[in-house]
A and B are shown apart, each in its own frame.
Chain A
Amino acid sequence: MEDPGKFRKNVRQVFKLMYLMFFGFMLIAGFLVYLMVDPSLSVFNKNDPNNYESIQKHDEVDFDKIENGVHVRTGLVEGDGLMLVVNNCTSCHSAKLVTQNRMSKEQWSATIRWMQETQNLWDLGKNEEPIVTYLATYYAPEKEGRRQNLQNIEWYDLKE
């Protein structure tokens, strides 16, 4: 106790030990976190080139593939606002509920309002405008009259 220099030295040693322990723990923690992400440590395993290509393709290309102007996964028409519609309109119900309907801008807006009031649809914020525009552009009503001609008749020979 009578030597303040020795006391200071001891304190410095304790601090050094604490620093070491802290960085040690950080290293271990970092390694454990990495292990959670990549349990097989495959990054250190150079000869494993087979698995990821197709999954990556599936994830980034196939999942939102557009073919002949149609978003394959949902059947929605390609156009401005498509992905907003996919992400906001198909998590509760099927995209078929959109694609089989034809409405004006006003009617699509009213439908969104109805879903917000009664069906737990969230606030669409600044996305609402492009969503409604997309819907009213690609799923707009056609003039039909009071009764249409029979359509898509498949002719066949009737045998009795």
Chain B
Amino acid sequence: MQRRKFIKKSTLTSLSTLLGTEIVFGKILPSGYDLLGLQDPDPFKLFHKDSQMVVLNDKPWNIEAQAHLLDNRITPNKYMFIRNNGIIPSDISVDDWTLTFDGESVSQKKTYTLEELKSKFKHHTYQLTLECGGNGRSEFNPPAKGNQWTVGAVSCAEWTGIRLRDILEDVGIEDNAVYIGYHAMDTHLSGDPNKEPISRGIPIAKALQDETLLAFKMNGEDIPLAHGYPLRLIAGGWPASASGKWLQGISVRNKVHDGAKMTGTAYRVPCEPVAPGEKVADEDMCIIESMPVKSLITYPKSGATINEGKSLKIRGHAWAGELSVSKVEYSIDFGSTWKNCSLEKPANRLAWQHFKADVRFPKKGYYEVWARATDSQGVSQPMVLPGWNPKGYLNNACHRIAVKVS
């Protein structure tokens, strides 16, 4: 009995340690009650996500959409995937927020307040496709380690901010500038304050594009916390990890940025194609830049049953990294024949394009509707998995839905 009492007390003590604070009135806690601070938070409420979103990981938070949830022309927050490498910052003070430019290739180190950024430079709004480099990883064989994304780690929201180019001109950069690297407020999973969870970047040419923004609004509102509030770098068409969230610093480098997840095998694929499962040395891995051509059927949801004789209206989006999409086709016979979908022009460069088609089926039975996009350089999506790579990036294999005609 004494031992149990001791256990009770020491449990309270360790609970206090977990919470990082004393549990006032801990002694009078009703038995069996879980403290609110220790209960699993509801990620859907926490991040204002739709309950059909799929949680892949809760430390760090990684949540993806399903194909049919991405039907909107402009992705709303509730259907936007979350990919985090570290812990989301919690104590953000917008009034004290600053962005510092440093590195080997700035003329001088310079710091701006958030207010200065917003008031000093012209605002621009673009709809920009952000896709996780590992979207589709779950299909690779042999399997690749990491979050097992299926198809839902892609979004195309409207981002408002200032051009990175405008502010780089104001800071002044040297001729030897090669790359910019970002620094942010998120913290490392291990709790080590000296480690950055992620610090990636983009080459200067990408940094100077019209559409490369320092954004403070998403879909006309403050950026949601999980997506980088209050300031985020947006480099559309590239792996979304290049678009750093909770932005506090930008280093202008005279070499390829060497921050966390820029080196080793992170966000890299073999420079030359390898056989599935082959070992690849770090020095033979090359940084992913533009994402490949891809498409998604967002309507109907896979599993639709329709009556014989009725046509099926399908629609979705297609995107091609730095390029545009020139054609989207569909097949109901596993690629034996293809028919064209109607395809819209993008809202702006680096935005996804909408396609639709009216599909007719010859007789009753089980069908799969496959979609295949082709980019402006004539490169199409493969029907099988593209080149295997150790980390499972860049799976742009055709998307398909199941349909039954009865």
Query: How near does chain A come to B183, taking the closest CB pair, in angstroms?
Result: 18
State whether the Cβ of A39 lies closer than 8 Å to any Cβ in chain B: yes
Q: A93-B59, A97-B147, A101-B148 are in contact. Are A150 and B312 (CB under 8 A)?
A: no
Contact A158 B143 (CB under 8 A): no
Contact B11 A155 (CB under 8 A): no
Q: Which residues, 132 to 164 on B, are CB-close (under 8 Å) to A?
A: 139, 141-143, 145-148
Interface string of B234-271 (1 = CB under 8 A from A): 00000000000000000000000000000010000000
A102 lies within 8 A of B264 (CB): no
Our pick among A52, A93, A96, A144 for the contact of B8 (Cβ within 8 Å) is A52
Please state if B31 and A96 are interface contacts (CB–CB under 8 Å). no
Chain A nearest CB from B198 CB (Å) reads 12
Which residues of the partner chain A approach B31 to less than 8 Å between Cβ atoms? 50-55
Query: What distance in Å separates the Cβ of B340 from its nearest Cβ neighbour in chain A?
Result: 22
Pick the contact of A56 from B2, B4, B300 — CB < 8 Å?
Answer: B4
**Given A107-B145, A158-B305, do A146 and B384 touch, yes or no (CB 8 Å)?**
yes
Instruction: Flag if A55 contacts B56 (CB, 8 Å).
Output: no
Q: Which residues of A contact B6 (CB under 8 A)?
A: 37-38
Other-chain residue from A40, A50, A146, A153 in contact with B27 (beta carbon distance below 8 A)? A40
Chain A residues contacting B148 (CB-CB under 8 Å) are: 100-101
Tally chain B residues at the interface, Cβ within 8 Å: 51
A13 within 8 Å of B (CB atoms): no
Question: How distant is A38 from chain B, measured CB to nearest CB, in Å?
Answer: 6
> Taking the complex as formed, is A156 at the interface, i.e. its CB lies under 8 A from any CB of chain B?
yes
Does B190 make an interface contact (CB < 8 A)?
yes
Knowing A56-B8, A58-B32, A156-B305, say if A147 contacts B383 (CB, 8 Å): yes
Within 8 A of A (CB), among B30-73: 31-32, 55-60
Q: Judging by beta carbons under 8 Å apart, are B145 and A153 in contact?
A: no
Q: Contact between B146 and A158 (Cβ–Cβ < 8 Å)?
A: no
Instruction: Point out the residues of chain A lying under 8 angstroms from B139, CB to CB.
Output: 147-148
Q: Is A92 an interface residue (CB 8 A)?
A: yes
Whether A158 contacts B300 by the Cβ 8 Å rule is yes
Interchain CB contact under 8 A, B145 and A155: no
B347-406 CB contacts (< 8 Å) to partner A:
368, 383-385, 397, 400, 402, 404
CB-CB < 8 A to A92: which residues of B? 59, 189-191
Q: How far is the CA of A37 from the CA of B4 in the complex (A)?
A: 12
B313 touches A160 (CB 8 A): yes
Q: Cβ of A119 < 8 Å from any Cβ of B?
A: yes
Bound CA span A52–B6, Å? 10
B181-230 interface with A by 8 A CB criterion: 188-192, 195
Give chain B residues whose Cβ lies under 8 Å from the Cβ of A144.
Answer: 141, 143
CA distance A118 to B1 in the complex (A): 46
Question: Does A136 make an interface contact (CB < 8 A)?
Answer: no
Please pick, from B1, B9, B190, the residue contacting A120 in the complex, using a CB distance under 8 A. B190
Does chain A have a CB within 8 A of B78? no
Q: From A40, A56, A101, give the contact of B7 (CB < 8 A).
A: A56
Chain A residues with CB below 8 A from B60, complex form: 93-94
Which residue of A52, A54, A147 contacts B397 across the interface (Cβ within 8 Å)?
Answer: A147
**CA A15 to CA B12, docked complex, whole Å:** 43
> How far, in angstroms, from A119 to B300 measured CA to CA in the complex?
42
Is B303 positioned at the interface, with any CB of A under 8 Å from its CB?
A: yes
Chain B residues near A156 (CB-CB < 8 A)? 301, 303-305
Once the chains bind, are A55 and B27 in contact (CB under 8 Å)? no
Return chain A residues, CB-CB under 8 Å to B195. 120
Q: Which residue of A lies closest to B27 (CB)?
A: A40
Please name all residues of chain B whose beta carbon is closer than 8 Å to the beta carbon of A40 when the two chains form the complex.
Answer: 27
A2 contacts chain B at the CB level, 8 A cutoff = no
B304 touches A120 (CB 8 A): no
Asked whether A3 is an interface residue with its Cβ less than 8 Å from the other chain, the reply is no
CB-defined contacts of B94 to chain A, threshold 8 Å: none
Which chain B residues border A160 with CB–CB below 8 Å? 313
Residues of A contacting B4 in the complex (Cβ-Cβ under 8 angstroms): 52, 56
List of A residues within 8 angstroms of B145 by Cβ: 101, 103, 107, 111
B100 contacts A by Cβ under 8 Å: no
Tell me whether A59 is interfacial, beta carbon within 8 Å: yes
Output the least CB separation between B320 and chain A (Å). Answer: 21
| Residues in A whose Cβ lies below 8 Å from that of B397 | 147
For window 17-39 of B, CB contacts with A under 8 Å fall at: 27, 31-32
Q: Which residues of B contact A157 (CB under 8 A)?
A: 305-306
If A96-B58, A147-B384, A155-B404 are given as contacts, then 20 extra A-B residue pairs at C-beta distance below 8 Å, sorted by A number, are A40-B27, A42-B5, A43-B1, A52-B1, A53-B31, A97-B147, A100-B57, A103-B145, A104-B142, A141-B141, A145-B141, A146-B384, A146-B385, A147-B397, A150-B368, A154-B302, A154-B303, A156-B305, A157-B306, A158-B312
Q: What are 10 A-B pairs at a CB distance below 8 A?
A: A37-B10, A40-B27, A55-B11, A92-B59, A96-B55, A97-B57, A100-B56, A101-B146, A141-B142, A155-B404
Which positions in A face B, CB cutoff 8 Å? 37-40, 42-43, 50-56, 58-60, 92-94, 96-97, 100-104, 107, 111, 118-121, 141, 143-148, 150, 153-158, 160
